[in-house]
């Protein structure tokens, strides 16, 4: 089943001479257990696509469906519930609350949704465990490495019954070993939990973790590449890297195999 469906979605900001078409007739379908990478130059509409998929903005035209529910016509309360229960967000700069432990940070969305503290904590610990961080549950964010913090942020985004994971440059603040680990873990979380994920990245190598890469340019989707089966050889995490404890080595091949070339329009080096 398609968890996220965008049909001919356009988004225009401003009007008259100041009009900007951030998205122009974009269609995208992301199924359960599938991870799609979004690449494109700065200003091409990547963040707009994520905010619309995350119900944080409304498209000017077109249709958006999350988990089979069409967003148009949905009340603000229903959208808020969808965000609380169904959608997980991961940002480049982690956004963990410094006064809460890793476990408390991860359990927080469930507590805010009214789940009892004990059950929220148990679900939070399970999500941390999935990220290979069960032994860091009591640590505060400033006691964690950058890679660990991002893994806590991913645990918070997949905790509970979330179905759609949206990530904006989730590895942008990490070194390459941790960046690989983060993408790898997100992909495993998708496969294991049947979530759909949309990940914005400027790094073509990291995009190889996705099942599919789409490219945006001036609000248009210019290309869609499906990863070929069985062609990929991914780097392995070195001993001693904080990524090495995440979940072992990279899978060889599989449906999310290496894309051979970076898109000419990719904004490598951009670090938003």
Stretch that binds ligand ADP, among 14-22, 61-69, 119-127, 188-196 (CB under 6 A): 14-22
If the CB atoms of residues 22 and 115 are measured against ligand ADP, the closer one turns out to be 22
Among 9, 22, 115, 207, binds ligand ADP (CB under 6 A): 22
Rule CB under 6 A: is residue 60 a binding residue for ligand ADP?
no
Size of the site for ligand ADP (CB under 6 A): 12
β-bridge partners, 65: 5, 70
Collapse the DSSP code of 71 into the 3-class scheme (helix H, G, I; strand E, B; otherwise coil) and give the result: coil
Query: Rounded distance, CA 57 to CA 67, Å?
Result: 17
Task: Say how far apart CA 170 and CA 198 lie, in whole Å.
Answer: 11
Contacts of 16 (CB under 8 A, 6+ apart): none
In order of 24, 156, 219, 220, 262, the CA distances from 135 in angstroms are: 46, 16, 43, 44, 37
Distance of closest approach, residue 20 Cβ to ligand ADP, in angstroms: 5
Quick one: which of 1, 8, 13, 113 contacts ligand ADP (CB under 6 A)? 13
Select the residue interacting with ligand ADP from 4, 33, 45, 242 (CB under 6 A): 45
Residues 198-227 touching ligand ADP, rule: CB under 6 A, are none
Nearer to ligand ADP, 209 or 215 (CB): 215
Residue where the block lists tokens 């599989």: 254
Q: Which is nearer to ligand ADP, 155 or 166 (CB)?
A: 166
Taking Cα atoms as reference points, which of 151, 171, 172, 149 lies closest to residue 272? 172
Which residue from 226, 196, 231, 228 is spatially nearest to 214, judged by alpha carbons?
A: 226
- Nearest distance from C-beta of residue 71 to ligand ADP, angstroms: 18
**Interface residue list for ligand ADP (CB under 6 A):** 13-14, 20, 22, 40, 42-48
């Amino acid at each position: 089943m398609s968890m996220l469906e965008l049909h001919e979605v356009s988004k225009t900001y401003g009007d008259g001479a100041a009009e900007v078409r951030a998205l122009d007739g974009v269609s995208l379908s992301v199924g359960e257990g599938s991870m799609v990478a979004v690449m494109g130059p700065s200003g091409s509409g990547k963040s707009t696509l994520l905010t619309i998929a995350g119900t944080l903005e409304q498209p000017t035209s077109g249709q958006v469906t999350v988990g089979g529910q069409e967003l148009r016509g949905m009340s603000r309360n229903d959208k808020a519930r969808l965000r609380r229960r169904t959608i997980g967000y991961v940002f480049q700069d982690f956004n963990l609350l410094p006064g809460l432990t890793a476990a408390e940070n991860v359990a927080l969305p469930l507590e805010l949704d009214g789940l009892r503290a004990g059950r929220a904590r148990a679900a939070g610990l399970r999500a941390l465990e999935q990220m290979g961080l069960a032994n860091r549950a009591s640590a505060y964010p400033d006691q964690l490495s950058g890679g660990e913090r991002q893994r806590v942020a991913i645990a918070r985004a997949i905790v509970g019954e979330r179905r759609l994971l949206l990530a904006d440059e989730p590895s942008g603040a990490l070194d390459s070993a941790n960046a690989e680990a983060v993408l790898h873990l997100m992909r495993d979380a998708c496969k294991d939990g049947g979530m759909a994920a949309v990940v914005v990245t400027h790094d073509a190598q990291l995009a190889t973790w996705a099942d599919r890469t789409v490219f945006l340019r001036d609000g248009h989707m210019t290309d869609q590449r499906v990863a070929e089966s069985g062609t990929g050889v991914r780097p392995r995490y070195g001993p001693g890297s904080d990524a090495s404890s995440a979940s072992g080595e990279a899978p060889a091949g599989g449906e999310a195999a290496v894309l051979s070339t970076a898109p000419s329009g990719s904004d490598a080096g951009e670090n938003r």
